[in-house]
């Protein structure tokens, strides 16, 4: 049997599987993340294109989740698919110690769109490993141990990155990596500092961080890691001046500033990186997800020249078998070039300013269940409440079972109408691909308008 015949056999086998066969095999053999295995029934997905995916019954869903907020370029982009196919035919894999054209070009393109002064890339398989290596670099560079991270954060599920994480997904893995200290970041709608506006929130959050550094001992702090715009924990856009204030504190005390742009980067916020909105330059940027839309696993750390110089004559004690995998890097090259050639960054920015933001605020005014709307680009959150006056969340923090029923009802209403939402706690996030058209966004927002009426039934 020839190689072509073998590929045809595999393709025919998969093409002829029914949805029920896929579901049965999944339930028998696949162990799913973040789930009680006996309480889930994953929907089998047959195909996807653009901003839509289809199940085996040919039900179509407009993807307002971009899967896990990573399919920035949409499904089935022909240039990215072709790049993977061509690279696989030429050189499918090579170890990291060799130089490779796809890897070199991907690194060049990534540093070209990064802030000035960050000119090297350490490649990983995803965002969690990127954050693991970023804190390792910071500790080695400074000779210090502690790392500060916010409570409302998610940085990954590996041993170190889950300790950095502030949300409840951290709890079952404790005790975790030593030296991690959590603090409160800005969140004006639910201020930990009793602020009444963005300016107060900025100033009080910075004072809180200043005090945290003081009582921890600035000389012991290696790094502060922040999601530039907090992702799953609320799409929290920092007040103007906050990131610069953090940068100033880091400069004052010799602390490394790590910007976790795994979710917020590569067009998601209408810029190459979210830090570009505030013209703040971190020492390290971690990325993954949107760099190639998850077509092949890829992440990395973009490294400042100063930190890079630490390892000029000193070996960096870290590595991965698949660091800078050729298939992944080829897809990143094709993706970044497509972003440029097709004005995808500009499209994401326009969707935020001209379509999503204005329309969400218009819809929100009609629904007592909508407490707050916030976001940038194609990175938005709608916070649902029982009572607008008290701001009581529609469901309790970290709700499960019957306590989560109102959000489950809202999500079901979306799916029944052909929209796949991204929900977390008492929020729904509007995070379609950066390539989504205005008409498609309007289609999804019309469904949200109807689904919010279901949430309204749970208000006081």
pLDDT band for 16, please (50, 70, 90 cuts). Answer: confident
Mean pLDDT of the chain: 96
Per-residue pLDDT for 384 more than 90? yes
Strand-pairing partners, residue 221, are: 146
> What is the per-residue pLDDT for 12?
64
> What is the per-residue pLDDT for 14?
66
Per-residue pLDDT for 349 more than 60? yes
Per-residue pLDDT for 258 more than 80? yes
> What is the per-residue pLDDT for 253?
98
Tens digits of per-residue pLDDT, 397-409?
A: 999 999 999 999 9
Residue 328: closest CA among 306, 297, 286, 350: 297
Per-residue pLDDT for 281 more than 70? yes
Q: What is the mean pLDDT of residues 120-134?
A: 98
Dist. CA 422–CA 410, nearest whole Å: 11
Q: What is the mean pLDDT of residues 270-293?
A: 98
Q: What is the mean pLDDT of residues 324-336?
A: 98
> What is the per-residue pLDDT for 63?
98
CB under 8 Å to 415, separation ≥6 — which residues?
61, 421
pLDDT band for 5, please (50, 70, 90 cuts). Answer: low
Per-residue pLDDT for 316 more than 60? yes
Count the alpha carbons within 13 Å of 361 in the hemisphere toward its beta carbon.
Answer: 8
Cβ atoms of 50 and 76 closer than 8 Å? yes
Distances (CA, A) of 398 to 32, 118, 176, 210, 403: 20, 38, 21, 29, 9
Tens digits of per-residue pLDDT, 76-121?
A: 999 999 999 999 999 999 999 999 999 999 999 999 999 999 999 9
Dist. CA 149–CA 221, nearest whole Å: 11
Distance, first Cα to last Cα, the chain = 68
> What is the per-residue pLDDT for 3?
55
Please state the pTM of the whole predicted model: 0.96
> What is the per-residue pLDDT for 200?
98
Looking only at the bridges linking them, the beta strands covering 299-304 and 118-124 are: antiparallel
Tens digits of per-residue pLDDT, 211-235?
A: 999 999 999 999 999 999 999 999 9
> What is the per-residue pLDDT for 336?
98
Per-residue pLDDT for 122 more than 60? yes
Per-residue pLDDT for 10 more than 60? no
Cβ atoms of 275 and 117 closer than 8 Å? no
Dist. CA 266–CA 300, nearest whole Å: 13
Take residue 283 and report the two structure tokens written for it.
Answer: 């020492």
> SS3 of 55, please?
strand
Cβ atoms of 157 and 169 closer than 8 Å? yes
Strand boundaries in 243-358, DSSP class E: 256-260, 284-287, 299-304
pLDDT band for 11, please (50, 70, 90 cuts). Answer: low
Dist. CA 46–CA 281, nearest whole Å: 42
Dist. CA 126–CA 296, nearest whole Å: 10
Dist. CA 347–CA 357, nearest whole Å: 14
Take residue 448 and report the two structure tokens written for it.
Answer: 């949200």
Q: What is the mean pLDDT of residues 285-314?
A: 98
Tens digits of per-residue pLDDT, 183-195?
A: 999 999 999 999 9
Dist. CA 280–CA 275, nearest whole Å: 6
pLDDT band for 6, please (50, 70, 90 cuts). Answer: low
- Least confident residue range of 12-26, 215-229, 394-408, 436-450: 12-26
């Amino acid at each position: 049997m020839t190689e072509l015949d073998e590929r045809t056999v595999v393709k025919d086998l998969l093409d002829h599987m029914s949805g029920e066969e896929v579901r049965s095999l999944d339930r028998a053999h696949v162990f799913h993340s973040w789930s009680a295995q006996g309480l889930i029934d994953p929907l089998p997905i047959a195909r996807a294109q653009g901003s839509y995916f289809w199940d085996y019954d040919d039900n179509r869903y407009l993807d307002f989740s971009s899967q896990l907020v990573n399919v920035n370029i949409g499904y089935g982009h022909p240039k990215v698919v072709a790049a993977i196919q061509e690279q696989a035919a030429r050189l499918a894999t090579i170890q990291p110690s060799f130089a490779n054209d796809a890897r070199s070009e991907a690194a060049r393109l990534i540093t070209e769109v990064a802030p000035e002064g960050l000119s090297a890339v350490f490649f990983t398989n995803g965002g969690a490993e990127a954050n693991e290596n970023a804190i390792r670099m910071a500790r080695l560079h400074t000779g210090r141990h502690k790392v500060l991270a916010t409570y409302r954060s998610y940085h990954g599920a590996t041993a170190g990155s889950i300790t950095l994480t502030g949300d409840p997904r951290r709890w079952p893995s404790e005790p975790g990596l030593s030296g991690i200290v959590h603090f409160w970041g800005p969140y004006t709608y639910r201020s930990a500092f009793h602020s009444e506006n963005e300016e107060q929130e900025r100033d009080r959050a910075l004072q809180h961080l200043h005090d945290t550094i003081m009582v921890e001992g600035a000389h012991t702090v290696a790094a502060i890691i922040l999601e530039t715009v907090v992702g799953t924990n609320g799409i929290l856009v920092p007040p103007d001046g906050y990131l610069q204030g953090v940068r100033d504190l880091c400069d004052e005390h010799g602390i490394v500033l790590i910007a976790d742009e795994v979710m917020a980067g590569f067009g998601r916020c209408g810029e190459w990186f979210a830090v570009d909105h505030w013209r703040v330059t971190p020492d390290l940027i971690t990325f993954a997800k949107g760099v190639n839309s998850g077509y092949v696993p890829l992440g990395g750390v973009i490294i400042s020249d100063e930190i890079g110089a630490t390892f000029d004559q000193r070996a960096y004690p870290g590595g991965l078998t698949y660091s800078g995998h050729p298939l992944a890097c080829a897809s990143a090259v094709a993706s970044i070039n497509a972003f440029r050639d097709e004005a995808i960054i500009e499209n994401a920015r326009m969707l935020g300013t001209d379509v999503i933001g204005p329309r969400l605020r218009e819809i929100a005014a009609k629904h007592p269940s909508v407490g707050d709307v916030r976001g940038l680009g194609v990175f938005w959150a709608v916070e649902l409440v029982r009572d607008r006056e008290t701001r009581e969340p529609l469901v309790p923090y970290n709700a499960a079972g019957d306590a989560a029923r109102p959000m489950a009802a809202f999500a079901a209403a979306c799916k029944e109408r052909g929209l796949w939402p991204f929900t977390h706690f008492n929020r729904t996030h509007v995070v379609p691909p950066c390539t989504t058209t205005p008409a498609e966004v309007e289609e999804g927002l019309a469904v949200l308008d109807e689904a919010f009426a279901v949430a309204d039934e749970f208000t006081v």
